[in-house]
């Protein structure tokens, strides 16, 4: 199929083109209650073809997915017609870079027997508790991506991914309730299904026995899922990544300036944030981006000062800076304070949000608390509900970072971060 696509591209003669051929192998097992409902194992190959057409001082581009049996000639012709209708400022999409990192190849996918045994073991563990597993799904995949461009470049890399989700039913003071935890990593062993179920059983139990909070003002500690959600890496969800984007700088939407603080008044530790796609078995590790720019570690914010924009080849050309490669795992610098020092009477811990979606422009947010704890008389008293209200950037400028490290789903940083002067609206 790839050879036929190249032949057709050479006939149609777009100014630039690239083919991203992905061979994807996946295995998925699903249990309803304690009985296996389905097991899926399969492979597929797709080709994502992108064509570029220069018109004056503009460059149009269009992408199309081609599968076995598709009309290759028609699809490429339609893509070129679409590219002619788009008029972006001109840039050169590919260059011949060097110095690509060698990432470790992923392991073989777990067998059906291994997946089934792991899930069965989780059901056996849950039977020892007062909760039930109503459903359990485990997904594992491996992919090989080969990229070919009109400049004669050919690069290949392999990725892996794993996902687990379950439904826990438990009865407590709030009555019977369901809790649906999920986790995504590069490898299934990074999830540790037994630990995943056991950890989330205790969270579900605390939620079922929690009370509704009163309005709270003071120090809030973020841990666990809540901490991971706070630093999620998507530019469309995370203000620090959005404002670090060269694309949004070019569009005059970024508030960051190189060499200047992200917030003028810093009341706590000075935060450092990096993008690192080179972490071994990282959930967001990669050797290159879609325009074949080599991956590299990049400091975004250093001790509260903005240092570098995340720049694709296109927006790097527009801003006349070097492209930086793919957005990687997020590393947050550690502090000097033991996490245990955060747990003082009068403080509050949040371990999970129902959602955390700050405004990517202003950083303002209102986030419902799925599970938190008020610290009183040296004990953690669970609560559910109430809204954490604040501003993302002001929190980053008023935080204390733990010295212990924790990682999950592409976040690598402090195990706990305590933010000062927070508000949780309650009854």
In the Cβ-directed half-sphere of 229, how many Cα atoms lie within 13 Å? Answer: 21
Q: What is the DSSP letter of 307?
A: -
**Tokens 């295995």 belong to which residue?**
27
Average pLDDT, the chain: 94
pLDDT, tens only, 16-47 = 999 999 999 999 999 998 888 899 999 999 99
CB 269, CB 399: distance < 8 Å? yes
Q: Are strands 182-185 and 298-302 parallel, antiparallel or unpaired?
A: unpaired
| Number of residues that this document lists for the chain | 427
**pLDDT, position 427:** 78
Confidence band, pLDDT 50/70/90 cuts, at residue 412:
very high
**pLDDT, position 1:** 82
**pLDDT, position 103:** 81
423 is written with which tokens? 């508000």
In this structure, of 12-16, 33-37, 313-317, 384-388, the range with the lowest mean pLDDT score is 33-37
What is the rounded distance in angstroms from the CA atom of residue 146 to the CA atom of residue 44?
14
**pLDDT, position 233:** 63
Domain ranges of the chain: 2-205, 212-427
- Asked if residue 148 has pLDDT above 80, the reply is yes
All residues at 6 or more sequence positions from 186 whose CB lies less than 8 Å from its CB, including other chains:
106, 159, 160, 161, 162, 281, 282, 283, 285
What is the rounded distance in angstroms from the CA atom of residue 2 to the CA atom of residue 12?
15
All residues at 6 or more sequence positions from 193 whose CB lies less than 8 Å from its CB, including other chains:
118, 119, 121, 122, 138, 164
- Beta-bridge partner residues of 31: 36, 136
Residue among 224, 256, 216 nearest 420 (CA): 216
The average pLDDT across 162-166 equals: 96
- The architecture that CATH gives domain 2-205 is 2-Layer Sandwich (3.30)
**Helices assigned H by DSSP within 107-164:** 112-126
What is the rounded distance in angstroms from the CA atom of residue 405 to the CA atom of residue 427?
35
Percent of the chain topping pLDDT 70: 99
CB 205, CB 132: distance < 8 Å? no
Q: What is the DSSP letter of 187?
A: S
The average pLDDT across 250-265 equals: 95
108 is written with which tokens? 């073989």
- Asked if residue 342 has pLDDT above 90, the reply is yes
pLDDT, tens only, 48-64 = 999 999 999 999 999 99
């Amino acid at each position: 199929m790839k050879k036929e696509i190249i032949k057709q591209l050479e006939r149609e003669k777009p100014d630039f083109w690239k083919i991203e051929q992905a061979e994807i192998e996946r295995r998925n097992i699903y249990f309803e209650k304690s009985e296996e409902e389905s097991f899926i194992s399969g492979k597929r190959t797709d080709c994502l073809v992108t064509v570029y057409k220069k018109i004056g001082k503009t460059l149009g581009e269009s992408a199309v997915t081609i599968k076995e049996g598709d009309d290759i000639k028609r699809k490429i012709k339609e893509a070129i017609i679409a590219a002619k209708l788009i008029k972006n400022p001109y840039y050169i999409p590919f260059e011949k870079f060097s110095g690509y990192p060698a990432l470790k190849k992923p392991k073989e996918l777990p067998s059906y027997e291994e997946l089934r045994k792991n899930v069965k073991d989780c059901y056996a563990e849950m039977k020892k508790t007062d909760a039930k597993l109503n459903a359990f799904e485990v997904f594992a995949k491996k992919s090989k991506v080969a990229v070919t461009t009109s400049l004669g470049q050919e690069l290949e890399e392999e990725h892996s991914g794993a996902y687990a989700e379950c439904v826990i039913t438990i009865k407590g003071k709030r009555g019977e309730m369901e809790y649906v935890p999920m986790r995504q990593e590069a490898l299934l062993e990074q999830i540790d299904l037994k630990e995943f179920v056991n950890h989330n059983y205790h969270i579900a139990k605390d939620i079922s026995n929690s009370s509704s909070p009163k309005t709270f003002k003071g120090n809030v500690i973020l841990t666990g899922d809540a901490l991971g959600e706070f630093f999620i890496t998507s530019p469309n969800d995370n203000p620090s990544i959005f404002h670090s984007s060269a694309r949004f700088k070019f569009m005059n939407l970024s508030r960051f300036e190189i060499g200047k603080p992200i917030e003028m008044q810093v009341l706590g530790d000075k935060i450092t944030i990096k993008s690192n796609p080179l972490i071994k078995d990282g959930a967001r590790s990669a050797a290159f981006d879609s325009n074949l720019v080599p991956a590299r570690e990049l400091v975004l914010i250093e001790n509260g000062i903005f240092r570098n924009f995340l720049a694709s080849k296109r927006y790097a050309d527009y801003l006349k800076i070097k492209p930086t490669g793919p957005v990687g795992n997020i590393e947050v610098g550690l502090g000097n304070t033991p996490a245990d020092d955060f747990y003082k009477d009068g403080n509050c811990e949040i371990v999970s949000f129902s959602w955390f979606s700050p405004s990517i422009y202003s950083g303002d947010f209102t986030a419902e608390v799925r599970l938190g704890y008020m610290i009183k008389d040296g004990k953690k008293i669970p609560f559910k509900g109430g809204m954490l209200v604040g501003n993302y950037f002001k929190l980053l400028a008023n935080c204390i970072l733990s010295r212990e490290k924790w990682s999950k789903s592409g976040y690598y940083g402090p195990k706990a971060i305590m933010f000062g002067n927070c508000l949780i609206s309650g009854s």
